[in-house]
Amino acid sequence: MGLKERVEVSSPGKLMLFGEHAVVYDQPCIVTAVNQRLMVTVEAREDGKLVVNAPDVGLEGYTRNLADMGKKEKVPKAVKFVETAVSNYIEAYPGVKGVNISTRSQFSSKFGFGSSSAVTVGVVKGMAEVFGKNISDRELFDLSYKTVLNVQGVGSGFDLAAAIWGGTVYFVTGGKEISPMDIGELPLVVGYTGIKADTSTFVRQVAELREEYTDMVDSIFNLISDVVEEGKVVLEQGSQRKIGELMDINQGLLNSLGVSTPEIENLVFAVRQSGAHGAKLSGAGGGDCMIAYTPAFARRKVEEAIKYAGGVVIDVKTGAEGVRVEP
Ligand code: PMV
CA-wise closest residue to 250 among 202, 215, 285 = 285
Q: Does the beta carbon of 17 lie inside 6 Å of ligand 1?
A: no
Percentages of the chain per state (helix, strand, coil), in multiples of 5: 45, 25, 30
Q: How confident is the model at residue 325 (pLDDT cuts 50, 70, 90)?
A: very high
CA of 93 to the centre of ligand 1 (A): 29
DSSP classification of residue 109: G
Best residue among 147, 158, 198 to mutate for probing ligand 1's pocket (most ligand atoms within 8 Å of CB) is 158
Best residue among 156, 169, 198 to mutate for probing ligand 1's pocket (most ligand atoms within 8 Å of CB) is 156
CA-wise closest residue to 5 among 54, 41, 52, 48 = 41
pLDDT tens-place string over residues 6-55? 999 999 999 999 999 999 999 999 999 999 999 999 999 999 999 999 99
Cα–Cα distance for residue pair 134/127, rounded to 1 Å: 10
pLDDT tens-place string over residues 110-160? 888 889 999 999 999 999 999 999 999 999 999 999 999 999 998 999 999
Contacts for 124 with CB less than 8 Å, ≥ 6 apart = 85, 88, 89, 135, 140, 143, 144, 147
* Number of the ligand 1 atom closest to the C-alpha atom of 197: 1
Cα–Cα distance for residue pair 254/286, rounded to 1 Å: 11
Q: Does the beta carbon of 39 lie inside 6 Å of ligand 1?
A: no
Q: Does the beta carbon of 158 lie inside 6 Å of ligand 1?
A: yes
Closest Cα to atom 3 of ligand 1: 283
**pLDDT at residue 73 in the model:** 74
Residue 212 CB-density burial (10 A; 0-12 exposed, 13-18 middle, 19+ buried): exposed
Q: DSSP states of 15-59 as a string?
A: EEEE-TTGGGGT-EEEEEEEEEEEEEEEEE-SSSEEEEEEGGGTE
Best residue among 15, 16, 26, 253 to mutate for probing ligand 1's pocket (most ligand atoms within 8 Å of CB) is 16
Enter the pTM of the model.
0.96
Please work out, in degrees rounded to the nearest 5, the angle formed at the alpha carbon of residue 110 by the alpha carbons of 104 and 115. 45
CA of 43 to the centre of ligand 1 (A): 31
CA of 19 to the centre of ligand 1 (A): 9
Cα–Cα distance for residue pair 19/152, rounded to 1 Å: 20
* Number of the ligand 1 atom closest to the C-alpha atom of 154: 13
CA of 64 to the centre of ligand 1 (A): 30
58-87 mean pLDDT: 88
CA of 202 to the centre of ligand 1 (A): 9
pLDDT tens-place string over residues 204-262? 999 999 999 999 999 999 999 999 999 999 999 999 999 999 999 999 999 999 999 99
Q: At what angle do helices 158-165 and 115-130 cross, to 10 degrees?
A: 50
Q: Is the pLDDT of residue 1 over 70?
A: no
Q: Does the beta carbon of 274 lie inside 6 Å of ligand 1?
A: no
Q: Does the beta carbon of 23 lie inside 6 Å of ligand 1?
A: yes
Q: Does the beta carbon of 14 lie inside 6 Å of ligand 1?
A: no
Closest Cα to atom 5 of ligand 1: 283
Cα–Cα distance for residue pair 243/235, rounded to 1 Å: 7
CA-wise closest residue to 231 among 31, 11, 74, 64 = 31
Q: 145 forms bridges with which residues in the sheet? A: none
Cα–Cα distance for residue pair 323/250, rounded to 1 Å: 29
Distances (CA, A) of 3 to 44, 50, 133, 237, 323: 10, 18, 9, 45, 19
Contact between 205 and 259 (Cβ < 8 Å)? yes
Q: Does the beta carbon of 115 lie inside 6 Å of ligand 1?
A: no
Q: Does the beta carbon of 170 lie inside 6 Å of ligand 1?
A: no
Contact between 12 and 37 (Cβ < 8 Å)? yes
68 a catalytic residue: no
Q: Is the pLDDT of residue 2 over 70?
A: no
Q: Does the beta carbon of 24 lie inside 6 Å of ligand 1?
A: yes
Secondary structure of residue 246 in the 3-state scheme:
helix
